[in-house]
Amino acid sequence: MKLALAGKGGVGKTTIAAALVKLFAEKGHRVFAVDADPDSNLGASLGLPSSVLQRLTPIVEMKDLVEERTGTGKGAFLVLNPDVDDIPDRYRVRVGDISLFRMGGVKAAGTQCYCRENAFLKALVGALVLRRDDLVVLDFGAGIEHLTRGTAKGVDLLLVVTEPTRVSADSAATMVRLGRDLGVAEVRVVGNKVRTEREARFLAETFGEDLLGLVPYDEDVAEAALEGPGDEEGDGPVTVGVLRGRLCESLEELYPEIVKLAGGRRT
Ligand SMILES: Nc1ncnc2c1ncn2[C@@H]1O[C@H](COP(=O)(O)OP(=O)(O)OP(=O)(O)O)[C@@H](O)[C@H]1O
Ligand SMILES: [Mg+2]
């Protein structure tokens, strides 16, 4: 099952990605969390200490390394096939059944695109050979620069996260269209930070059947975000404690539907 999260800046992609990673791991899935956002913080949101995250080599560098050693352009595939277990440990942080990868560095000033990162992401998404119940979670940065045709084909379910505002919903609607145009198998919207009935109604009316579900505004999550990433495991903005809260409960309700949508292609 390959799941990607997209949405306008700050809507809660990383928070929801982290909560889903934890939830699926708890349910017994092996989870591969890919931080595809150059200004990445999925690791911190998962509660991983900054000392561990600093040691994590971005996987774009794996391609360079292998090319250097083998002198071929096919290096990435050699490493990634046939099984994700072959990925060397310096490119991932493992916590129980969760493996975290980091995509790449910050876009160099003046460069126009993440071409190299995109090419690699496509290779990664396409080449990961998974067990049936494994889950890959891709946390994209704001916008959908990473969502190219090649990457989209490998994604089973795109979750477009939106806040209950007109501006956020408009851009979510654009991303839903784009995701479908690019050939993602399933595309659904998750409304996040919902506080009132009126907001819930607004999202239901705007997205109709495309709306997978709603995640309430969670004071505990907002509170935890005031803290920076700590240096002890579990200290990050989405701590285990927070993950027992309302945000997590609402995602737990969506779990069966997510499994159905994301796993539909490989039954
Ligand atoms: N359901 C929620 N309730 C309260 N606060 C939330 C909720 N979801 C996310 N937040 C808060 O909103 C802020 C933005 O969340 P997050 O970083 O997950 O967004 P993002 O979409 O990944 O942002 P970016 O586009 O910068 O990657 C964070 O401070 C987070 O704690
Ligand atoms: Mg983010």
User: Could you tell me the CATH number of the domain that includes residue 152?
Assistant: 3.40.50.300
What pLDDT does residue 146 have? Answer: 65
- Assigned domain for 171 exists: yes
Buried b vs exposed e over 13-43: b needs ≥16 C-beta within 10 Å? bbbbbbbbbbbbbeeebbbbbbbbbbebbbb
Instruction: At 114, give phi and psi (nearest 5°).
Output: -95, 45
Residue 122 CB contacts under 8 Å (≥ 6 apart), including other chains: 148, 150, 151, 154
Note the pTM of the prediction, 2 decimals.
0.86
- Assigned domain for 86 exists: no
Determine what percent of the chain is predicted with pLDDT higher than 70: 68
pLDDT at 30 over 60: yes
Mean pLDDT of the chain: 79
For the stretch 73-125, pLDDT in tens is: 554 444 444 355 666 677 788 888 888 888 765 444 455 555 666 666 666 66
What secondary structure letter does DSSP report for 243?
A: G
Which uninterrupted H or E stretch holds 215? strand 211-216
Range of the domain at 248: 2-47+93-100+131-266
- Assigned domain for 219 exists: yes
> Residues enclosing ligand 1, CB less than 6 A?
7, 9-15, 37, 141-142, 192-193, 215, 217-218, 221-222, 225, 237, 247
Handedness of CA 31, 90, 47, 140 (dihedral sign): negative
- Assigned domain for 159 exists: yes
- Assigned domain for 175 exists: yes
Of ligand 1's listed atoms, the one at least distance from the Cα of 192 is 1
Round to whole Å and give the CA distance between 49 and 238.
Answer: 12
- Assigned domain for 204 exists: yes
What pLDDT does residue 7 have? Answer: 92
pLDDT tier at 37, thresholds 50, 70, 90: confident
Nearest CA residue ID for atom 19, ligand 1: 12
Give me ligand 2 centre to Cα 102, in Å: 13
167 or 238, which is more confident = 167
Round to whole Å and give the CA distance between 97 and 102.
Answer: 17
Q: Which of 37, 195, 221 to mutate to test the pocket of ligand 1 (most atoms within 8 A of CB)?
A: 221
Round to whole Å and give the CA distance between 194 and 217.
Answer: 5
Least confident of 4-8, 80-84, 171-175, 220-224: 80-84
- Assigned domain for 185 exists: yes
Q: Which of 149, 223, 216 is nearest to 180 (CA)?
A: 149
Report for 58-62, 79-83, 95-99, 243-247: range of highest mean pLDDT: 95-99
What secondary structure letter does DSSP report for 97?
A: T
pLDDT tier at 243, thresholds 50, 70, 90: low
* Total of domains in the chain: 1
Give me ligand 2 centre to Cα 237, in Å: 12
Question: Looking at the CA of 6, which ligand is closest?
Answer: 1
Which uninterrupted H or E stretch holds 190? strand 186-194
What is the mean pLDDT of the segment spanning 50-77? 63
What is the mean pLDDT of the segment spanning 160-166? 97
What pLDDT does residue 86 have? Answer: 61
- Assigned domain for 30 exists: yes
Owner of token pair 């099984």: 83
Question: Looking at the CA of 16, which ligand is closest?
Answer: 1
What is the mean pLDDT of the segment spanning 57-64? 68
Round to whole Å and give the CA distance between 138 and 14.
Answer: 9
Q: Which of 192, 183, 198 is nearest to 265 (CA)?
A: 183
Angle at 137 between CA 233 and CA 163, to 5 degrees: 90
Buried b vs exposed e over 71-89: b needs ≥16 C-beta within 10 Å? eeeebbeebbeeebeebee
3 state DSSP class of 124: helix
pLDDT tier at 156, thresholds 50, 70, 90: very high
Q: Which of 5, 14, 15 to mutate to test the pocket of ligand 1 (most atoms within 8 A of CB)?
A: 15
Residue 263 CB contacts under 8 Å (≥ 6 apart), including other chains: 1, 132, 133, 156
Round to whole Å and give the CA distance between 42 and 52.
Answer: 13
Instruction: At 37, give phi and psi (nearest 5°).
Output: -95, 120
What pLDDT does residue 80 have? Answer: 47
Question: Looking at the CA of 215, which ligand is closest?
Answer: 1
108 or 35, which is more confident = 35
- DSSP lists the bridge partners of residue 34 as 101, 138
For the stretch 189-231, pLDDT in tens is: 999 999 999 999 999 999 999 999 999 999 888 887 777 666 6
Give me ligand 2 centre to Cα 67, in Å: 30
